[in-house]
Amino acid sequence: MALDMVKVMRLLVFDRFALAGHDRGGRVAYRMALDHPVIVEKLAVLDILPTKTMWDRADSRFTLAFWPWSLLAQPEPLPERLLSADPIIIVDDALNNWAPNQLSFRKMCVSATLVTLGSCAYPFDMRRVRSG
């Protein structure tokens, strides 16, 4: 994912840039900064727990409650294919487990996430980006 983001930024004619990421995006941003230090001038990551620490502490309760961690750790294309099969059910289940009483927040997250997940089924197309 980090390399994909570097390619997109190059297509958008950015040779160097500041980068911020939250949660999974923060992990991708961190990887990009490690692999491409000349390109990433500044980095901000939000809500990131050290991956090794989380895996070391993971027990059956954690892996059942936070199953996306295990799913997203699988090699491509398995996570993408599973997520694109029924993104509404998958996202709703994850958010319901994490924040069952936050309905308006969940609705907002579901909308944004489904737009993102829907785009995973299609290759990146710079013409679509440039056309608006």
Expressed as residue numbers, the domain containing 98 is 58-132
Instruction: Give the CA angle between residues 50, 53, 55 to the nearest 5°.
Output: 110
Whether residues 16 and 65 fall in one domain: no
Cβ–Cβ contacts within 10 Å for residue 42, how many?
Answer: 10
Say if 83 falls within a structural domain.
yes
CA 56 to chain centre: 22
Say if 53 falls within a structural domain.
no
**Between residues 116 and 82, which one has the greater pLDDT?**
82
Q: How confident is the model at residue 103 (pLDDT cuts 50, 70, 90)?
A: low
**Between residues 123 and 37, which one has the greater pLDDT?**
37
Number of domains in the chain: 2
Q: To the nearest 10°, report the CA torsion of 101, 106, 108, 111.
A: -160
Whether residues 87 and 26 fall in one domain: no
Q: What is the pLDDT of residues 37-68, one digit of tens each?
A: 999 999 999 888 777 888 898 899 888 888 88
* pLDDT value, residue 50: 75
Q: How confident is the model at residue 82 (pLDDT cuts 50, 70, 90)?
A: confident
Whether residues 64 and 109 fall in one domain: yes
Q: How far is CA 1 from CA 5, 72, 120, in A?
A: 6, 12, 11
